Structure 1
Amino acid sequence: MKILQLRFLYGFVFFCQLVGSNVLYAQKKQEIKQSGGLVYSIKVLEDKDGRLTINNISNQKFQPLLTNAPNYGLTNSVYWFKIDMINHTNEQDFLFKIQNATISNSIFYTVNHGLINTQVIKNTTPLKQREFNSQYPLFKVTLLPDSALTCYLRISSNNVMDLPMSLKSDVSILDDINLDQWFFGIYSGIILIMFLYNIFIYLTVKDDQYLYYVFYILVVGLTQACLKGYAVKFLWPNNEWLIRQAPHIITACSGIFSILFTFNFLHVRQYAHKVYIVLNTLIVIYFVSIAVYLSGGYIAGQKILQANTSLVSVVILSCGFYTYKKGYKPALFFNISWSFFLGGVIIYILKDAGVLPVNNFTSNAILIGSGLEATLLSFALADKINIYKKEKERSQEETVRALQENERIIREQNVILETKVNERTLELKAANEELNEALEDLKQAQTQLVESEKMASLGQLTAGIAHEINNPINFVTSNVNPLKRDVGQLLDVITSLEELSVSDLAVADKQKRIDELKEEMDFDYLKVEISHLLNGIHEGASRTAEIVKGLRIFSRVDEDDLKRADINAGLDSTLVIVNNLLNNKIKVTKNYADLPLIECYPGKLNQVFLNLLTNAIHAIKSVFGDNTGGELTISTYFDADNVFVKITDNGTGMDADTQKKIFEPFFTTKEVGEGTGLGMSIAYNTIKKHNGQIFVESAVGEGTTFILELPIVHKIQAT
């Protein structure tokens, strides 16, 4: 039954629009209009080509009108009206009014004794240039008492040709205009109050529905202001572009915002997803109508707008009934408000069709319906808030009950849990003690492993030092005995010279004896040999001092404080330690830059250098053994913030999997017993302690490169 009622309602709406958009002619008799003692009749002629002029219009055949408010809809035709009037009053000043501010062009001709007086009014004519300060076309008619007059009216328009016409005294017409303005003032007040009230609520509750409603009623109010001409009168009286384009654009925006408000208020996407898609399509059509209208297709744009608006009205009202049927109660107010608006539209259309009389109520039916719609929609939002409030209160009550139930359950569970916690506490305490013991054992094992790595390094260090010191010391000791022998010979010569000096021999004989002694012991060779032996001892001692200096640099013990240290010196001291591993078979190339001193722990960095160099030497020996061909390159360089140490070998190299694991504790590529697997892990942690980075580049069979990046100024990291 409801579906049948809806179909009847929609059919009635379309029928009324169809009736209102057709030309109304009198087929049987001419209708005589009376306004007091002023009698006039109106006839109409359609000029489809727009070629007729005032000079040849009198010979044309006019058709009488049944109503003084014809509506010809959207048309490219020009309409001529012939007005015959007789004045039976004592007045002579009258006004002919067309109550439609959107008429594009209207020309009023007064024919009196062969003289033609012309009055032209366009909708783009600024009000200040019109004789009367009214948005409606008003034409002055002077008709003496007891006389007759014939006038012609030429109308063409890009908008709906709705032509409510009246001929009255100038005072009566101006009173009608003031009354019309009074009606619109009431309507504007309602819209303004609803606008301010709901925008205040939106700013208070931050509900988007109020924001959509505010925009909706704003464009609805502007639409009515455009259609009634008050936008031209009060908002943009001198802007021809807005006068011509604004009614269409704002009417389309009214439809768009009505859809957006419907989306939000009725939750269309949730309750009627297919309707949601349809309405989105209709929004696109609104934009199409605007584009067509702005491009110059006025009639086509208006027709698209009219058809789309009719369809939107039907879809929105259907959606309102559908969502209400689905159980969404706020849709009831929505349906009632839209019904009032559509009722106003229907009354207005029936007025244009001549079914209802033309009066203040029927002329302002759309304003009344729109005002009631805006008011009821505001009530609908308020009702929705009340529903939300009740739902919130009900939800809060349910929440309180649930919390009370939870509290009871929690109290009961607390007793059970407390017992279980006490039991578990004892178990956890025992387990914790076991874990502490295991942790302590693990720490001791880790400490022992680290110490093992250090001892391994120390053993290597000791062997290197012993080897390096042994060579120069052997050189010194091997020169001591020959030097003692040569010194003994010198002492013997000195003794002989003492004896010779106290003898009684002549000077010549003494000189001869001395020469014999020098020749006997080969004195010149003895001097050369002693010089060589002393130089050898000096070189051995210097080499020993150099080794001791390198050892002192390497084994820095000031690890608790940061020191400014020379990285190049640390590398050289480490090379001294590993020199015995090179065995004169591996070529070492040093490319040192003139580095700035950096803040670091020098001893720990030397340990890193030692680990990297020994690994490199081991990799080289794995390829070349005791043969030559191995190369070890050490480079240093720096930028504004960091120094870089690059150690490259041409050893075995590493694959990608090995590179990923190289810094993991206990990972080693050496044979069992040759390493603990902690060297690279210690190196990684040491560089990390310096806030630096360590990078590895390697390929199997091509060698390996380690790059250390160390900050020049040690930065304390936040923990």
Structure 2
Amino acid sequence: MKKILIIAYLILQYATAFAGNTDTLIVNTNQSQLLTSRYFNELNDHDGTLTIQQVLNSNDFYTSKTLLPTLKFSKSTIWLKVVLKNNTDESIIPISVTASVIDALDLYYIDKTDKKITHISIDQLQSNFLLQKITSIQYPILPGTVNTIYLRVKSNASTIIPLRIYSVSAFLENRTIENIIMGAIAGILLVMGLYNLMLFSIVGDRSYLYYVFYILFLGLSQSLLRGYGGILFTNKAILNNYVIPIIRVCFGFSLLLFVGEFLHLKKRLKHWYKYYLCLYGLYTLLLLAILFGFVVAAYNLITITISLTAVSLLIIGVYLYVKGFKPAKFFMLGWGLFLVSILISVARNKGLIIYNDFTANIIPYSSVAELVLFSAALADKINFYRGQKIQLQNFAITVAKENERLTTEQNILLENKVKERTNELIVTNKNLSVTIEDLKNTQKKLIDTEKMASLGQLTAGVAHEINNPINFVSSNVNPLRLDFDELFLLLDSYDAALSNPGHPRFLEVLNDYKEKVDPIFIKDEITTLLNGIEEGARRTAEIVKSLRTFSSTDDLVLKTLDIDKAIYANLLILRSTIPYYIQITPLLDTIEPLNCYPGKINQMLINLISNSVYAIKAKQTHENESILIVTKDEPEYIYIEITDTGTGMTDETKQRMFEPFFTTKDVGEGTGLGLSIVFGIIEKHHGSIEVVSELGKGTKITVQLPKNLV
């Protein structure tokens, strides 16, 4: 029975050894080899309590299902068993970990000379200053010998562990190349940081300052991840548990600040901006978790938060670009590239894609490309604002030149008029009454001329406004002419058929031509074209009428006007344009007839009431709509208040509402002269106007007119 148990034990040992069978990792000169599952067996140490003696005696080693060693759980430890052969001329085999956050890397082996267990840790300082910046172990093994080593890896983050075995020459060459690449990337980051800091000092735009912070924390994050933090931090626990995660959180904050300022999210996202602020909240929770020692949870949340931030910012960039914000184009491209690199990095760390030189360095490579695109975005933003400024300057120069031209022409005209009138006075001094009448006419023309000078500022707007309706007429004339030509030919065919009743050939020609031209279609087309011409003529007449009203030269004669009767009369005129769902309520005080210019006052009332009606009609839905007209009689002034439940106005619209040709109506619905004329009428009466309006709630306009106008 005892023999049977011994045989069974040996069979079990053999089966275990066969199940965990791996290849010997042979290191040749000028060669480096990534430690894959082909060369190691793995042992999980979840609590991190196993000793090397327990590991040596353990039969629980197994072949890994992942290509590279992987810490599948946060705050865990794994042991790797590797059979290694030194096939080089050197007695050192460097082993390093790159682009990974680990808390401990220990190497154990049994010295073949004295049979003692030797322990080497990454916490032991290297003799070479350049080698202190990376996570590496120098394993001593004689050339041509084979030995079994045990690697213990511990980390608070769940990630893959890219272990690479080198020959000494390959290690030094690899480190040199990596230092050159990282130095070049650091140089690029430094140049971009200083350049944008200079732009911030010149332009004063906070986008550049936040971009400098973004570059700084991006560079620090990548440098620390690649082991360069050992220069400043000898305590690896502080570096991995506090410094690296805090730098990542600061990177997230700087990114949110830069994007928010560069894309003007507070202004452009409006109601959605509060959801953008939630990203700040997530990074604040991460910072608190790190400071209070919840490092494992913090590393898991960092991956989730950065991925959520990347997707959110890409969606925001695409949304703003679609909405027409052109500076978002380069941001969208740059951040899209960076998002892809983050997703590749996360998938690589989870073992979902192959680990190689490209995927290992995808973040720094894409970061450089992203920074170039972000810099292009900032430069494009400068060009965007510069273009707007140049356009405004050119427009101002054009207006100034046009005003100067008009002023010069008016001065010449005035000088000519004065010369003409002077000559007329010399010639006609015997006829004093005629001379006085001429002087009155001249004075009136001078007043009109001064008013027309102000119209010079409107020249550019008039040309644009009147061009559209004229196109209605000009574009319809040729088709209308063709239709009439076909009708005339059809009439000629009818005439020929009637003149030759005995010749059926003429009738056949008539029928063939009638089917060819389709008189019903021609009739409909003529009607449509005439309607278009009529619409263009109507809109042109409306613009011309508005301009004529604005520059009208009414008689400068004061007359009395009953304000209450004038309001009722204007409401009667406008009654057909007021929809049924608008309730007009006049609350009129008893006011004595006012000394004023009646035509102007009526024009003012019509414009103000019409604007209130339009503001209500512009709403999407209508409920309890009303216009309240109130007059008040005070000792020295009268007040006219018009309150509506329309769409209301923004602060920007209120500031520009009295500018000539400024309108919020659609093209073809208004010329933008109405309120400008109203303002001129009130000024002419030495009165004042006050506007109180809130977007979505309506508008109240109060007009104050003096009683003692003389």
Q: TM-score, structure 1 length as denominator?
A: 0.50
- Aligned partners of 2:229 and 2:239 also within 8 Å: no
- Aligned partners of 1:50 and 1:78 also within 8 Å: yes
Deviation at 1:344, TM superposition (A): 2.9
- Aligned partners of 2:71 and 2:77 also within 8 Å: no
State the partner residue of 1:22: none
Deviation at 1:249, TM superposition (A): 0.9
3-state DSSP class of the match of 2:326? coil
Distance 2:226 2:399 in 1: 59
Matched, 1:120 2:121: yes
Distance 2:42 2:333 in 1: 40
State the partner residue of 1:402: 399
- Aligned partners of 1:100 and 1:137 also within 8 Å: no
1:223-622 → structure 2 map (5 Å cutoff): 223-233=221-231, 235-236=232-233, 241=238, 244-349=241-346, 351-352=348-349, 358-407=355-404
One-letter code of the match for 1:340?
L
3-state DSSP class of the match of 2:359? helix
Deviation at 1:191, TM superposition (A): 0.2
Residues 218-274 of structure 1 show CA distances to partners (whole Å, capped at 9, x for unaligned) of 1111111221222432x5557974564221111111111111111111121222235
Pick closer, same or farther for the CA change 1:82–1:303 going to 2, 3 Å.
same
Deviation at 1:353, TM superposition (A): 5.9
State the partner residue of 2:681: none
Pick closer, same or farther for the CA change 1:128–1:89 going to 2, 3 Å.
closer
Residues 632-670 of structure 1 show CA distances to partners (whole Å, capped at 9, x for unaligned) of xxxxxxxxxxxxxxxxxxxxxxxxxxxxxxxxxxxxxxx
Pick closer, same or farther for the CA change 1:34–1:370 going to 2, 3 Å.
farther
Deviation at 1:159, TM superposition (A): 3.8
Residues 534-553 of structure 1 show CA distances to partners (whole Å, capped at 9, x for unaligned) of xxxxxxxxxxxxxxxxxxxx
Residues 297-335 of structure 1 show CA distances to partners (whole Å, capped at 9, x for unaligned) of 110122222211111111011101111111111111101
Distance 1:345 1:29 in 2: 36
State the partner residue of 1:197: 195
- Aligned partners of 1:46 and 1:80 also within 8 Å: yes
Deviation at 1:33, TM superposition (A): 5.1
Matched, 1:182 2:183: no
Distance 1:381 1:420 in 2: 63
Pick closer, same or farther for the CA change 1:83–1:222 going to 2, 3 Å.
same
Pick closer, same or farther for the CA change 1:36–1:358 going to 2, 3 Å.
farther
- Aligned partners of 1:72 and 1:161 also within 8 Å: yes
One-letter code of the match for 1:198?
N
3-state DSSP class of the match of 1:44? strand
- Aligned partners of 1:68 and 1:166 also within 8 Å: no
Distance 2:414 2:97 in 1: 89
Pick closer, same or farther for the CA change 1:421–1:200 going to 2, 3 Å.
farther
Deviation at 1:128, TM superposition (A): 6.8
State the partner residue of 2:615: none
Pick closer, same or farther for the CA change 1:369–1:405 going to 2, 3 Å.
same
State the partner residue of 2:84: 85
State the partner residue of 2:167: 169
State the partner residue of 1:72: 71
- Aligned partners of 1:83 and 1:151 also within 8 Å: yes
Q: In the comparison of the two structures, how many residue pairs are matched?
A: 395
State the partner residue of 1:539: none
- Aligned partners of 1:191 and 1:218 also within 8 Å: yes
Distance 1:248 1:266 in 2: 27
Pick closer, same or farther for the CA change 1:292–1:421 going to 2, 3 Å.
farther
One-letter code of the match for 1:257?
S
Pick closer, same or farther for the CA change 1:347–1:101 going to 2, 3 Å.
closer
Residues 458-515 of structure 1 show CA distances to partners (whole Å, capped at 9, x for unaligned) of xxxxxxxxxxxxxxxxxxxxxxxxxxxxxxxxxxxxxxxxxxxxxxxxxxxxxxxxxx
3-state DSSP class of the match of 1:133? helix
Deviation at 1:373, TM superposition (A): 0.9
Distance 2:258 2:217 in 1: 12
Distance 1:355 1:34 in 2: 27
Distance 1:55 1:73 in 2: 24
**Structure 2: where are the runs of 5+ without partners?**
1-18, 419-438, 445-710
3-state DSSP class of the match of 1:50? coil
3-state DSSP class of the match of 2:133? coil
**Structure 1: where are the runs of 5+ without partners?**
1-26, 425-719
Deviation at 1:146, TM superposition (A): 4.0
Q: TM-score, structure 2 length as denominator?
A: 0.50
One-letter code of the match for 2:52?
I
One-letter code of the match for 2:247?
I
Q: Which has the larger radius of gyration?
A: 1
Matched, 1:99 2:98: yes
- Aligned partners of 1:74 and 1:299 also within 8 Å: no
3-state DSSP class of the match of 1:329? coil
Pick closer, same or farther for the CA change 1:111–1:239 going to 2, 3 Å.
closer
Distance 1:70 1:104 in 2: 15
One-letter code of the match for 1:56?
Q
- Aligned partners of 2:102 and 2:240 also within 8 Å: no
- Aligned partners of 1:333 and 1:380 also within 8 Å: yes
Distance 1:76 1:61 in 2: 20
Deviation at 1:402, TM superposition (A): 2.9
- Aligned partners of 1:107 and 1:120 also within 8 Å: yes
Pick closer, same or farther for the CA change 1:73–1:373 going to 2, 3 Å.
farther
3-state DSSP class of the match of 1:52? coil
Deviation at 1:60, TM superposition (A): 3.4
Distance 1:210 1:230 in 2: 27
Which among 57, 63, 69 is matched to residue 55 of structure 2? Answer: 57
One-letter code of the match for 1:193?
V
One-letter code of the match for 2:28?
G
- Aligned partners of 1:103 and 1:161 also within 8 Å: no
State the partner residue of 2:466: none
State the partner residue of 1:134: 132
- Aligned partners of 2:134 and 2:228 also within 8 Å: no
Q: Which moved more, 1:412-421 or 1:304-313?
A: 412-421
State the partner residue of 1:503: none
Deviation at 1:63, TM superposition (A): 2.5
- Aligned partners of 1:44 and 1:64 also within 8 Å: yes
One-letter code of the match for 2:330?
F
Pick closer, same or farther for the CA change 1:323–1:224 going to 2, 3 Å.
same
- Aligned partners of 1:132 and 1:138 also within 8 Å: no
Residues 137-174 of structure 1 show CA distances to partners (whole Å, capped at 9, x for unaligned) of 32222333443211111122224544110112223223
State the partner residue of 1:493: none
3-state DSSP class of the match of 2:75? coil
State the partner residue of 2:205: 207
State the partner residue of 1:218: 216
- Aligned partners of 2:217 and 2:247 also within 8 Å: yes
One-letter code of the match for 1:118?
H
Distance 2:275 2:47 in 1: 39
- Aligned partners of 2:91 and 2:142 also within 8 Å: yes
Pick closer, same or farther for the CA change 1:100–1:381 going to 2, 3 Å.
closer
- Aligned partners of 1:97 and 1:173 also within 8 Å: no
Distance 2:328 2:382 in 1: 13
| CA root-mean-square deviation | 3.5
Deviation at 1:129, TM superposition (A): 8.6
